[in-house]
Copies of this chain bind each other. A is one copy, B any other.
Amino acid sequence: MAASYESLFGGILAEVEGEMRAARQEQREVAPLMWQMIDHHFGWNAEDAAQRARIAGKRVRPVLMALVAQAIAGSYRHVLPAAAALEFLHNFTLIHDDVMDRSLERRHRPTVWSIWGSDQAINAGDGLYALANLTLTRLLRLDVPPARIVRAAAVLSQACLWTAEGQVLDMTFPQREDVTVAEYLTMITHKTATLIEAAAQMGALLSTDDEAVVQAYGQFARALGIAFQVRDDYLGIWGDEAITGKSATGDIREKKKSYPVLFAWERAGDSDRETLRRIYAQPTLSDQDVQQVVRILERTGAPAETERVADDYYQAALRHLDATGSANAAQTQLRQLASFLVRRAY
């Protein structure tokens, strides 16, 4: 499946990578350690190309932005600095998230904080966000109208603010017993979907002044982002370990309040809800606890409901995509990207 993504979007991936590296190379190094941390995070210090590609990941947001620009304007060269900026921004949030989650590994390598400590990892994230903003201003050199660049900056910054607010909300959930499905959707809309929405909006507004088109692409991507996250929640419990590479039921063991869990919590009968309350009040869950939670989730119909919700958002996304009025090869690739993100089994 990685080969298929690569064959579809490899050209874009290579150009985004080139722009990211050019923006990074342009900086003279005041504190070499800052650049060591950033180079490590992106795998730019890795020796072989295959390893670097694995570390780079799918780069969904830059690919989405490029395809939207291509669908509207027939080319994506004029959005490359914005695509690189958004990828830098996304990665700054990952570096900080890893500090907050105490995650030891990302993409099979040690996280920045696990090597250099939390304090320096905070600095690395801050510096990378600054680099993201600086990279956006490279659009000036491509003769993009400055008014569009300022608008792109506003979308990028608003998305970053909302992502941070989504993260604030997410971190309050574990201590709460009364999180609703509606609150959960608000949280993922901001924490996860906003940057995906921003990718499409920026690709559009840098390519056209037609506000209706910009909005339609934005709505497409927001719904897609929500569908992606809900599908991810499904796979976090019922995914095939051999395909996802993650431990099945790992999300339950970590007491993540994901969509299926919150749905079950709302729908369970009194006795099941009491069992959930008792299990989630414990500091850690045994294998038996995990199995019992899964049984309760399945009794409430959470798996089917979770798949239904993901599919509803996916179908809504496709309707918004049709509403953009574009019909060309890039538009077809956008459908393929959407399918790749939501229909995946991994």
Interface residues of A (CB under 8 A from B): 27, 29-31, 33-34, 93, 96, 99-100, 118-120, 122-127, 129-131, 133-134, 136-137, 139-140, 145-147, 149-151, 153-154, 156-158, 160-162, 164-169, 171-172, 186, 190
List B contacts of A167 (CB < 8 A).
123, 126
Give the contacting residue for A133; candidates B30, B122, B123, B153; CB below 8 A.
B153
In the complex, A128→B124 CA distance in Å? 17
With A133-B157, A164-B127: A186-B30 Cβ-Cβ less than 8 Å: yes
B150 touches A96 (CB 8 A): no
10 other contacts beyond A30-B162, A30-B166, A31-B169, with CB at 8 A cut-off? A29-B165, A96-B122, A120-B168, A126-B160, A130-B160, A131-B161, A133-B157, A133-B160, A134-B157, A137-B157
Judged by DSSP, the binding face of A is helix
CB of A220 to closest CB in B, whole Å: 21
A145 to B150, alpha carbons, bound, how many Å? 10
Cα of A131 to Cα of B145 in the assembled complex, Å: 23
Separation of A290 and B140 alpha carbons in the complex (Å): 54
Among A93, A133, A145, the one with the most B-chain Cβ atoms within 10 Å of its Cβ is A133
Number of copies: 2
B168:A33 contact, CB within 8 angstroms: yes
8 Å CB contact of A127 from B99, B118, B168: B168
Cβ contact within 8 Å between B99 and A171: no
CA gap between A100 and B120 in the complex, in Å: 8
* Interface pairs (28), CB distance under 8 Å: A29-B165, A30-B186, A31-B166, A34-B168, A99-B119, A118-B118, A119-B171, A120-B171, A123-B164, A123-B167, A123-B171, A126-B160, A126-B164, A126-B167, A130-B157, A130-B158, A131-B161, A133-B153, A133-B156, A134-B158, A136-B153, A137-B151, A137-B153, A137-B154, A139-B150, A145-B146, A150-B153, A153-B153
Docked Cα-Cα span, A160 to B129, in Å, equals 9
- With beta carbons under 8 angstroms apart, the residue of B33, B119, B130, B139 that contacts A100 is B119
Q: A96-B122, A129-B129, A146-B146 are in contact. Are A154 and B168 (CB under 8 A)?
A: no
Contact (A130, B161) CB under 8 Å given A30-B186, A100-B122: yes
Residues in chain B near residue A93, CB distance under 8 A: 126
Q: Which residue of B lies closest to A160 (CB)?
A: B130
Q: For the complex, what is the distance from the CA of A124 to the CA of B168, rounded to whole Å?
A: 8
